Structure 1
Amino acid sequence: MFDASGNRRLNRRNLLAAAAMAVLAGCTVVPKAPVSGPAPAPTPAPSQSDIPVDTERHRVALLVPVTGVNAGVGQAIANAANMALLDTSAKNLRVTTYDTSAGAAEATRKAIADGNQLILGPLLSDDIPTVSGVARAAKIPVISFSNDEQAASRDVLIMGNLPGQSVTRTVQYARAQGISTFGALVPRGDYGDRTSAALLAAVRSGGGSVVALEPYERSAASIASAAQRVKAKGGFEALLIADSGSLSVRAATAFKGTSKTPGVRLLGTELWSGERDVNASAALAGAWYSTVSDQRFAQFSKSYRARFGGQPFRIATLGYDAVLLTLRVARDWKPGTRFPADTLRDTKAFPGGFLGVDGAFRFTKGGLIERALEVREVGAGATKVVSPAPVKFGE
């Protein structure tokens, strides 16, 4: 995944704090993986497996950090994956967790030596080139929990929530309400680039126009200054603020009670989901944003707490849904054979997509996840759903 602050690489020690803050709408802020440069050097052959041969169950590897600074997030994903096996009473699937903290390459080699035919993970997009480089040589597909779109390939599918889809869904809803002119405040860096690209594409395809766009450095002072600049330009009916709730509040105050831009509808991204600052701010009242549905998350959290004694990170649902996805494919997957990854990209194979804790989802031909999102409106101390997420995809 990539950093909403716009930095090319987020310090890993910040992942836990970011994930807690970005309990965020099912999308946590995780470092961006390098996408260019020389190919990974050849790796040694996998070591001999310590796990006995298993001909009755599918072997699936879960690659996440379970030690080190990101252990909390990784363990939550692993717990959720185990919970999915328990909830479904799955007898034909064996999921083994491998710790990427000590080295993603060694974890991948060990997973392959153990006979796993599918890799779920890694969590950090920094690890994707290493994991995919080792897995590709063994023809083992990877379904990563990252949201780094550039890491998708024939061998790597991206399962993390994509911010561009949130922006597109919100714009489509706004256009349906008669809004045609848009402005935007976007942070410098990858996150800002991708949200602004999604905004421009969605607005233009809907017949609207983006009349003002102001970049800023990710700080309270910079976003407040950018808000004043974009307000001075005016001429837009809706303004996208592509940042976390706390910084979005800073920008929103510039539009509260102004006569320069009457009736401006504020728009947010998936980063707003789960943030107390969003619902606590009068300046954001009436704002719209899109995210995955929380309809099933309450029950998921209750079950998780009963089994593991703590509140799960919001991103833990990716582990649960990844196992549900694998079980669905396993109906036509013979144990010991290669995982049929190409069928995940085939909408005819799964016309309605898949259903998980976070709602309906499927993969595009390019290997990116496509999610059914709901649109929420910020109210006084709470949000309400103004456009429910579709329950499945059409063919």
Structure 2
Amino acid sequence: MLADTASIRVAFLAPLSGSAAAVGQELLNAAQIAAIEIGPANFVLQPYDTGGTAQGAAQAARSAVSQGARMIVGPLFADSVRAVAPVANEAGIPVVAFSSDATVAGGAVNLIGFVPAEQLRRIFEHAVQKGRHSVAVLVPNTPAGRKTAEAAQSVAAQTGMRLVGAESYQPGGAGADVAMSRLRSRGSFDALLIADTGAGLTSVANQLAMSGIESGPVMILGTMLWDSDPGLGRNRTLTGARFPAPDEAGISAFRQKYENMYGASPSDIAALGHDATALAAVLVRTGPNAITLQTVRNPHGFVGAGGLFRFRADGVAERGLAIREVTASGSTQVEPAPRAFPGPML
């Protein structure tokens, strides 16, 4: 290692203790892959444990700043990101956090998480290209489900899709039949988004045929939650349904590297730790003063394990995502992610 005066320190904030420690460790493991592969000799990735709390995140950020960090990667939870923001803003250093809650972005804070709006934009645009013009939305009555329903309001209009309505049911699928009936009463639609996974997705899928909704006349759409659902291909009702996901080539290569180094398969969120750290390492390679909010928000973007991304002026990541189709054995990629952004940021 070079002397401290020549090193460029990047702080890594994650819950390395507490109930979310396993997720935090996966993020750190993935970050270390990027630091080793991409970081120059003077790149120092310094982990800090947030304990999974806002108070812990704020203290970690203060320690990182006092120790000369030029950038903060993490933290994970929205309340932790919110607590870190004033520390980073005062210090004038950028943050690339893992949260998918767009309300905590802005100022020094950039979110590398897959926010609902970006997922919906990709799948709605795909549906429009396939001749679909009206969409109904079914979500569980959870904070994540409600955020997805809210995002659908604006994204549908932006993509040329008419939103017929959004209805919710209880977590796990209870009341899915009633929610489906309410949607049907709102009028006809040729696309249906189901923003759920596991038991909830199974319950909704079982209601489709009984409600007279058939895949084909109605294009069934999903979110990235489907990509990690081990039972996705078991319900024949969903065969042919489509959803957005990271490009197969990049994410497969990352998973193999992770397995080779740690002897275990990473969860989908681990790639965010890799890509945020890789971004910092790439900037450090260009010069000692290259990490700024402006360079983090390079309009040309970056390519990581999770695919193409760039940060908009509001700090939310714009994504290049692939499209996958549900099959009897799980899913297969039917449309690759774009290799470059087509024009100005949205």
TM-score norm. by structure 1 comes to 0.79
**Matching residue within 239, 264, 267 for 1:310:** 264
Aligned to 1:48: none
Matches within 5 A, 1:179-258: 179-231=132-184, 233=186, 235-256=188-209
**Matching residue within 294, 315, 333 for 1:342:** 294
**Matching residue within 333, 357, 360 for 2:308:** 360
What's the Cα RMSD here?
A: 2.4
Kept in 2: contact 1:183–1:238 (CA 8 A)? yes
1:110-132 alpha-carbon deviations (Å, 9 max, x no partner):
21221111110111112122222
Alpha-carbon shift at residue 260 of structure 1 (Å):
6.5
Aligned to 2:30: 80
Distance 1:127 1:83 in 2: 24
Over 3 Å counting, the alpha-carbon distance change for 1:161 and 1:208 in structure 2 is closer
Aligned to 1:6: none
Q: Which amino acid aligns with 1:393?
A: F
Alpha-carbon shift at residue 378 of structure 1 (Å):
0.7
Distance 1:200 1:135 in 2: 32
Alpha-carbon shift at residue 258 of structure 1 (Å):
5.7
- 1:152 maps onto 2:100 in alignment: no
Alpha-carbon shift at residue 338 of structure 1 (Å):
7.9
Distance 1:130 1:386 in 2: 41
Distance 1:93 1:169 in 2: 35
**Matching residue within 309, 317, 328 for 1:380:** 328
Q: Which amino acid aligns with 2:70?
A: Q
Counterpart secondary structure, 2:5: coil
Give structure 1 stretches of 5+ with no counterpart.
1-51
Greater mean deviation of Cα atoms: 103-112 or 266-275:
103-112
Kept in 2: contact 1:144–1:158 (CA 8 A)? yes
Distance 1:165 1:206 in 2: 11
**Matching residue within 276, 288, 300 for 1:322:** 276
Matches within 5 A, 1:51-200: 54-88=4-38, 90-101=40-51, 103-200=56-153
Kept in 1: contact 2:93–2:292 (CA 8 A)? no
Distance 2:31 2:183 in 1: 45
Give structure 2 stretches of 5+ with no counterpart.
none
1:153-174 alpha-carbon deviations (Å, 9 max, x no partner):
1111111111211111111111
**Matching residue within 319, 326, 329 for 1:371:** 319
Counterpart secondary structure, 1:160: coil
Counterpart secondary structure, 2:248: coil
Distance 2:276 2:155 in 1: 29
TM-score norm. by structure 2 comes to 0.90
Alpha-carbon shift at residue 389 of structure 1 (Å):
0.7
Distance 1:280 1:217 in 2: 22
Alpha-carbon shift at residue 227 of structure 1 (Å):
2.1
